[in-house]
Chain A
C-alpha cells in the first residue's frame, strides 16, 4: 500500500492506454497496406507527436502558442546537420562549424538530440516569453516563429536558405513514428498528473488564485514550454526523415495552422482531444485530398482543384470554434468511472 502515491499517475496514464489500443488497431489494420497508405498514416503519427508536444504547453498553460512550429524547424535542421554525410555537408553548408560538419550520427540518435536542441531554443526564448500573459504571450510566440523562420530561410551558408536541403536517409517508418507518439503521450499524461503539471493547470484556471497559492507561473510555464518543445523538435526531425528533405517554408504559417487546427478541433484542454483532433483532421484531409483529384457534384465540377483541402479544413476549424469551442472531446479525458469512484472515498477518509 506504500505505492498509493502512484495512483494518480496510473489514473492519468489510463487515456493513453486506451488511445494506444486504438493506435494498435489502426496499425494492425494498415500494417499490410500499400506503401502510399502507410506513408499517410506515418505522417499522421508524426503530426500526433507534434500536436501532443504542443498540447503539453497549450493544454496545460492555457496560453495559445503560435510559435511551436519554429521548434519543428529547429528539430528538422538539427537532424539534417547531424546526419547528412560530412562530404555533402561541407559543400552544401559551408558555414557550419567544423565539428558539426565532421559529425555523422545514426538517425535513431539524432532524433532525441534534435528534440534537445529544440528544448534548448525553447529555454532561451521561454525565459523572457513566459513572463507574458494572454494575447501578448500569443503575439510573442508568433514573433518567435517569425524570427526562427527568417533565420532558417535566410542563413544560407548554414541552413541552405530558401532551397531544399537534401541528403538525409529515410528513417521514419510506421514503427518509429508509433514509438515516439506513445512516448510523447505517456510523458504528456505523466506531466499533467505531476505536481508541476497541476500547478500549471491551476494557473490556467485562475491565475490570481494560483499566484496567491504560491505558484510561480512563469517558472511552471517554462517547464511545460521546454518539455513541449522537446517533442515538437522530435516531430520536426521525424518529419525530416520522412520527407528526406528540409525546406524552411514548410515550417511556417501553413503547418502552424494545421497543428493548431488539430488541437482546436479535438479540444485544446485534454490529451484525448489532441489525439482525436489529429485523427479527425488527418481523415478529413485525406478525404478532401481524394475529392481534390476530381469529383462532380451536380453542375459544379471540382476537377483537380488545389486548395479544396485547405478550404475544407479551415471551415471545419471555424465550425469547431463556433459550435464546439471546447473541441470534439469537450476538453475531457477518457476515464474509467468504476476505478475512480470508490477510491476517492477512501482518500477522503485518509486525509485528516
Chain B
C-alpha cells in the first residue's frame, strides 16, 4: 500500500511538472525562449481565482483561464515579440526580467504575505478507493493532467494548427515560405502554454492551500530541470522529463537519509549539470515519438 501511495505521489507530482515543462518546452521549441516567467502565469492564475472567489465556479474557471491567456499574450506582445530572433541568452534575461516584474507587480497589488486559497474546498476531502485513502485533489489533478497532456498530443498530431506549430518549431523561414502565419502560430503556442499554466495554477494552488507572489519560482525551476532532462526542444522529452523529475523528487525523499534530504534541490541540479555535460541533447530520446517540437 505504501508502494502504491508512493507511485501515486510520483505520478501526481510528475504530472504537474510535466505540464510546467511542456509549457516551457513548447515556447522554447518555437522561439528559443526559455520562459522563466511561466511560473508567474501560474501565480497570476491563482490570484485571479482568488479575486473572483465570490462568483459561481464555472465563471471563475472561464474568467481566470481568460485572464491568464490575456496576460500571456500581452507579455508576448510587449516584451518577447520585439526581441524575437535575439540570442537565447538575451531572451532568457528578458524572461527573467518579466518574471521579476510580474512578481513584484503582485507584491504591489496583493502584498508579499501569502493569502489563503480555498477554491473548490471539496477537493481537500479524501475518498476510500480499494483500501487506499486517496484525496480527491489527487484524482482531480491527475485527471486534469491526463486531459491536458492528451489534448495537447492530439492537437499537435492531427489539427492543422498543431502541424503548423511543429513546422515553425522545425524551421521558421521555411514555415513562413510555405504560407504559415508565424505570428499567429506563436500566439497560439503562447495560448497553449498559458492554458497549461492555468491548469497548474488550479492544482498547485489547491495543493499549497495558499498564494504568494513568489509561488511560481519553485515549480518553474524544477520544470527547467525537467526540460533539460528530457532534452530542450523536444515536447515528448519535456513531458517524460516532468514525470521523471516528479518520480525523482519522490524517490529522493524516500531513499535519501534524513540529514541529506534537505539537499534534494542540490542533487537535482547536480543532475542537470551532469546531463548538460554528458548528454546535452537530453536523457530520453524516443525515436518513434521524436518531433522537434
A-side residues, CB < 8 A to B, are 63-64, 66, 128-129, 131-132, 134-136, 138-140, 142-144, 146-147, 149-151, 154-155, 253, 257, 260-261, 264, 302, 305-311, 313-315, 317-318, 321-322, 325
Q: Is the CB of B265 within 8 A of A311?
A: no
Q: Once the chains are docked, how many angstroms separate the CA of A5 from the CA of B101? A: 48
Across the interface, which residues of A come within 8 angstroms of B106, CB to CB?
Answer: 307
Q: Lowest 6 CB-CB distances: which A-B pairs, in order?
A: A307-B107, A314-B101, A310-B104, A307-B108, A154-B262, A150-B266
Verify if B140 is at the interface (C-beta below 8 Å from A).
no
Across the interface, which residues of B come within 8 angstroms of A150, CB to CB?
Answer: 263-266, 269
- Per the 8 Å Cβ criterion, residues 80-136 of B in contact with A are 82-83, 86-90, 92-94, 96-98, 100-101, 103-108, 111-112
Q: Is the CB of B82 within 8 A of A139?
A: no
Across the interface, which residues of B come within 8 angstroms of A305, CB to CB?
Answer: 108
Interface residue from A63, A134, A136, A318 paired with B94 (Cβ < 8 Å)? A318
Q: From known contacts A128-B277, A132-B277, A139-B272, infer whether A321 and B93 are also in contact, taking CB-CB under 8 Å.
A: yes
B154 to chain A minimum Cβ distance, whole angstroms, is 30
Across the interface, which residues of A come within 8 angstroms of B96, CB to CB?
Answer: 66, 257, 260
Verify if B250 is at the interface (C-beta below 8 Å from A).
no
Across the interface, which residues of B come within 8 angstroms of A253, CB to CB?
Answer: 217
B190 to chain A minimum Cβ distance, whole angstroms, is 17
Q: Once the chains are docked, how many angstroms separate the CA of A198 from the CA of B220? A: 37
Across the interface, which residues of A come within 8 angstroms of B44, CB to CB?
Answer: none
Verify if B47 is at the interface (C-beta below 8 Å from A).
no
Across the interface, which residues of A come within 8 angstroms of B108, CB to CB?
Answer: 302, 305-308, 311
Q: From known contacts A139-B276, A322-B79, infer whether A146 and B93 are also in contact, taking CB-CB under 8 Å.
A: no
Q: Once the chains are docked, how many angstroms separate the CA of A119 from the CA of B56? A: 58
Q: Is the CB of A318 within 8 A of B263?
A: no
- Per the 8 Å Cβ criterion, residues 253-270 of B in contact with A are 262-266, 268-270
Verify if B198 is at the interface (C-beta below 8 Å from A).
no
Q: Once the chains are docked, how many angstroms separate the CA of A63 from the CA of B93? A: 12
**Besides A129-B273, A150-B265, 9 new A-B residue pairs in contact (Cβ under 8 A), listed by A number:** A135-B88, A138-B88, A140-B273, A147-B270, A150-B264, A150-B266, A308-B108, A314-B97, A321-B90
Verify if B168 is at the interface (C-beta below 8 Å from A).
no
B273 to chain A minimum Cβ distance, whole angstroms, is 5
Q: Once the chains are docked, how many angstroms separate the CA of A135 from the CA of B228? A: 11
Q: Is the CB of A138 within 8 A of B92?
A: yes
Across the interface, which residues of B come within 8 angstroms of A142, CB to CB?
Answer: 224
Q: Which residue of B lies closest to A261 (CB)?
A: B97
Q: Is the CB of A64 within 8 A of B79?
A: no
Across the interface, which residues of A come within 8 angstroms of B268, CB to CB?
Answer: 146
Q: From known contacts A140-B273, A307-B107, A310-B107, infer whether A321 and B97 are also in contact, taking CB-CB under 8 Å.
A: yes
A336 to chain B minimum Cβ distance, whole angstroms, is 31
Q: Once the chains are docked, how many angstroms separate the CA of A150 from the CA of B262? A: 8
Interface residue from A128, A135, A306, A318 paired with B107 (Cβ < 8 Å)? A306
Q: Once the chains are docked, how many angstroms separate the CA of A317 from the CA of B92? A: 13
Instruction: Give the dominant DSSP class at B's interface.
Output: helix
Q: Once the chains are docked, how many angstroms separate the CA of A321 from the CA of B111? A: 28
Q: Is the CB of B101 within 8 A of A315?
A: yes
Sample 5 A-B pairs with CB under 8 A, ordered by A number. A134-B88, A135-B92, A149-B265, A310-B103, A310-B107
B-side residues, CB < 8 A to A, are 32, 34, 79, 82-83, 86-90, 92-94, 96-98, 100-101, 103-108, 111-112, 217, 221, 224, 228, 232, 262-266, 268-270, 272-273, 276-277, 280
B261 to chain A minimum Cβ distance, whole angstroms, is 9
Interface residue from B89, B107, B265 paired with A138 (Cβ < 8 Å)? B89
Across the interface, which residues of B come within 8 angstroms of A147, CB to CB?
Answer: 265-266, 269-270, 273
Q: Is the CB of B266 within 8 A of A321?
A: no
Q: Once the chains are docked, how many angstroms separate the CA of A136 from the CA of B221? A: 15
Q: Which residue of A lies closest to B227 (CB)?
A: A139
A160 to chain B minimum Cβ distance, whole angstroms, is 13
Q: From known contacts A147-B269, A260-B96, infer whether A311 and B276 are also in contact, taking CB-CB under 8 Å.
A: no
Q: Once the chains are docked, how many angstroms separate the CA of A117 from the CA of B272? A: 24
Across the interface, which residues of B come within 8 angstroms of A311, CB to CB?
Answer: 101, 104-105, 108
Q: From known contacts A136-B280, A154-B262, A311-B104, infer whether A306 and B112 are also in contact, taking CB-CB under 8 Å.
A: yes
Q: From known contacts A64-B92, A261-B97, A325-B90, infer whether A154 and B263 are also in contact, taking CB-CB under 8 Å.
A: yes
Interface residue from A134, A151, A322 paired with B82 (Cβ < 8 Å)? A322
Q: Once the chains are docked, how many angstroms separate the CA of A325 from the CA of B104? A: 23
Q: Is the CB of B97 within 8 A of A318?
A: yes
Q: From known contacts A132-B277, A139-B228, infer whether A146 and B101 are also in contact, taking CB-CB under 8 Å.
A: no
Across the interface, which residues of A come within 8 angstroms of B265, CB to CB?
Answer: 146-147, 149-150
A301 to chain B minimum Cβ distance, whole angstroms, is 13
Across the interface, which residues of A come within 8 angstroms of B98, CB to CB?
Answer: 314, 318
Q: Once the chains are docked, how many angstroms separate the CA of A139 from the CA of B98? A: 18
Q: Is the CB of A143 within 8 A of B269?
A: yes
Q: Which residue of A lies closest to B262 (CB)?
A: A154
